Structure 1
C-alpha cells in the first residue's frame, strides 16, 4: 500500500497461560518486558501504564528503552443493563484522561469476557443473540464515547470472540448506530475470522474510520474443528488456533490491503498464545514478518 503504516506490539504472548487464557502476572517486569520488545525488533508498544507507575515514570521508562506508544485498550465490563454502567463510564473517563496524558488520541474498546461466560463456553457462534442486548451495549458505548471524547480520546470498537459483540452483524450494528466522530473501528483479523466474518469486506466497508488494526493470524482449520466439536474458547486456543503473523491460514496482507491507500495508522501485532514456545522468539518472528511485509518508506 502507498501509505506507511506504523508497526507496534501488544506483548500478550508473554502472558499466555497453560490453560489457554491470559495471565498478566506471567509477564516480565516492565523494564525487562519493554527492553525485550525493543530487542525483538519493535519500536512501538501498546500504551498501558504498569501498575504502580505514574504516567511520568512510564514515559521515562519508554524513553530509556527507546520505544514509542501505540493506542491502548479499554475493557467494557457491562452488558449495558446490569446496573454497572455508571461505574464503567467513570472508569472509561479515567483511562481516557490517562491516555491523553500519554499523548494519545485513540484507544480500542471491547467488551469483557470471563471463563464461565456463555460465549466463552460456545465461542465464535454468536450464541444467544439478542437485539435488545446489542442496543443496550450500543447505548453504553455511546455514553463511554462521549466521556472519552471529552478527554480528547476517541474509542474504536473491537468485536471480540467470547463477548456480546462478537459477530460481524453485531459489530456492524454498533458501528451503524454511532457516527465515526464518536466511535472508530478497531478490527482484529483473527477474532473476526474465527467468528466467521468476511474480514476483508468488513475492513473495506468501514475503512475510513479505522485508526489501527490488531494483526492476528490463526488456523481457520482449528477454528472449524472447534466449532464442529463444540470446543470452548480455551480448548480451541490450546489446540493451536493462534500463530505468529504469516504462519497461519489468514491472508493478512490481503485483508490489510482493504485499508485506504493513504493509511498511516497502526498495525499492532497480537499473538494471544505463541505457536513458537519462547515469547521472545515469537516476537522476533512477528517483527521480521511485519517489517518485511510493510517496510518503512523514506
Structure 2
C-alpha cells in the first residue's frame, strides 16, 4: 500500500467549508506535504501551470502523484450534460499526461442545498433523479475511459450520491466504474463501510482515509445541524484521533491491494495544518509501513 495526502487541512475555512485560497502557494504546500512525512500527494495541476511545470516541482520534492478528483456539477436533469462531459474529458487528458490511470469522481456540493441542511440522512431521495445521475455517470465513464483514465465513484455526504443504496445503485449499473470509498463520509451516512468495501474491493483503486466522530454526527442529526455546523462541532479528526476503527475497515481491502491510501482531514482536529499532516503521516506509517 502507498500513502498519500490530499492537503485540504490547509484549506479549512471558518464557516466549516473549504477555501483553497487559504492554502500557501502550491510549491510551498507540496514542500510541507513532503516534510510532514508523505511520499505521495493528490494530483492537482494548479491553474496557470503546465503539466510539465507541475511535474518538475513534484519530482524535485521527491513526491509521487496519487489520483486526483473531478466533480460532476449536474444532477443529470439540468441540461448541463455537454458542459460536464467536456470538462471531464479535459481533466482525463490532463490526468493521463500526468501518467495516472484513475481519478475520483464525486457529485457537487452546495451550501444550503437540501442535503447540506440535513447531512448524512438521504434527504429528498428521488428515483428519477438517481436514474438521471446514473445515466450521466455512465456517459462520464465512457468519455474518461476513452482518454485512458477510469473514474472511481466517491459517495459523499450532502450530494445526490450519499447513501449506501445510492452508491450501490450507480456502481451496479455502471460496471466499468471504479469505487473510491471515503471512510468518513460513508460512516457519517450510516454505511457499514467495511462491508461495502469488501463487496466492491476489486473495483477500488485507492481509498480516502478519513477519521471522524460519529458521536458528533449523531448529535448533529438530533439538533438539526447542517453540514457546516456539524463540521465546526468537531466531526473530523486526523487518522487515529476519531472514533472509526480504521484498521478494521481497511482490512476489507484485498491482501494484494497496491493502491493508494490517501489521508484527508477536511478540518484538522490539531489546529496547525502542518502538525495535523505530520501526526497523520506518523499514524499511517505506524499502521501501514
Q: Which TM bucket (shorter chain)?
A: over 0.9
Identify the residue that residue 174 of structure 1 maps to in structure 2: 170
Give the counterpart of 1:31 among 5, 24, 27.
27
Distance, in Å, in 1 between the alignment partners of 2:26 and 2:244 is 32
**TM-score, with structure 1 as normaliser:** 0.96
Q: Which runs of 5+ in 1 are unaligned?
A: none
Task: Verify: 1:282 aligned to 2:276, yes or no.
Answer: yes
| Stretches of 4+ aligned residues off by more than 3 angstroms | none
Deviation (angstroms), 1:223 = 0.5
The residue that corresponds to 1:64 in the other structure is 60
1:206-241 Cα distance to aligned partner (Å, 9 max, x none):
111000000000001000000111100000000000
1:86-101 counterparts in 2 under 5 A?
Answer: 86-101=82-97
Give 1:14-163 correspondences, 5 Å limit.
14-163=10-159
Matches within 5 A, 1:186-205: 186-205=180-199
- Give 1:63 shift: 1.1
Question: What SS class does the counterpart of residue 124 from structure 1 fall into?
Answer: coil
Q: Distance in 2 between matches of 1:198 and 1:232?
A: 22
Measure how far apart 1:66 and its partner are.
1.2
Deviations 1:243-285 (A, max 9, x none): 0000000000000000111101010000000000000000000
Distance in 2 of aligned mates of 1:156 and 1:63:
26
Q: Secondary structure at the match of 2:140?
A: helix
Question: C-alpha distance in 1, partners of 2:104/2:164?
Answer: 17
Measured after TM superposition, the shift of residue 131 of structure 1 is 1.1
How far residue 45 of structure 1 moved from its aligned partner, in angstroms, is 0.3
Q: 2:251 matched to 1:257?
A: yes
Deviations 1:7-66 (A, max 9, x none): 000000000000000000000001100000000000100000011100000000101111
Deviation, 1:102, is: 0.1
Find the counterpart in structure 2 of residue 232 from structure 1.
Answer: 226
Q: 1:165 corresponds to which residue? A: 161
Please give the alpha-carbon distance, in whole angstroms, between the structure 2 residues aligned to 1:183 and 1:230: 34
Deviations 1:97-139 (A, max 9, x none): 0000000000000000011211001110000011111110010
What's the RMSD between the two structures over aligned residues?
Answer: 0.5
TM-score, normalization by structure 2: 0.99
- Measured in 1, the distance between the counterparts of 2:81 and 2:73 equals 9
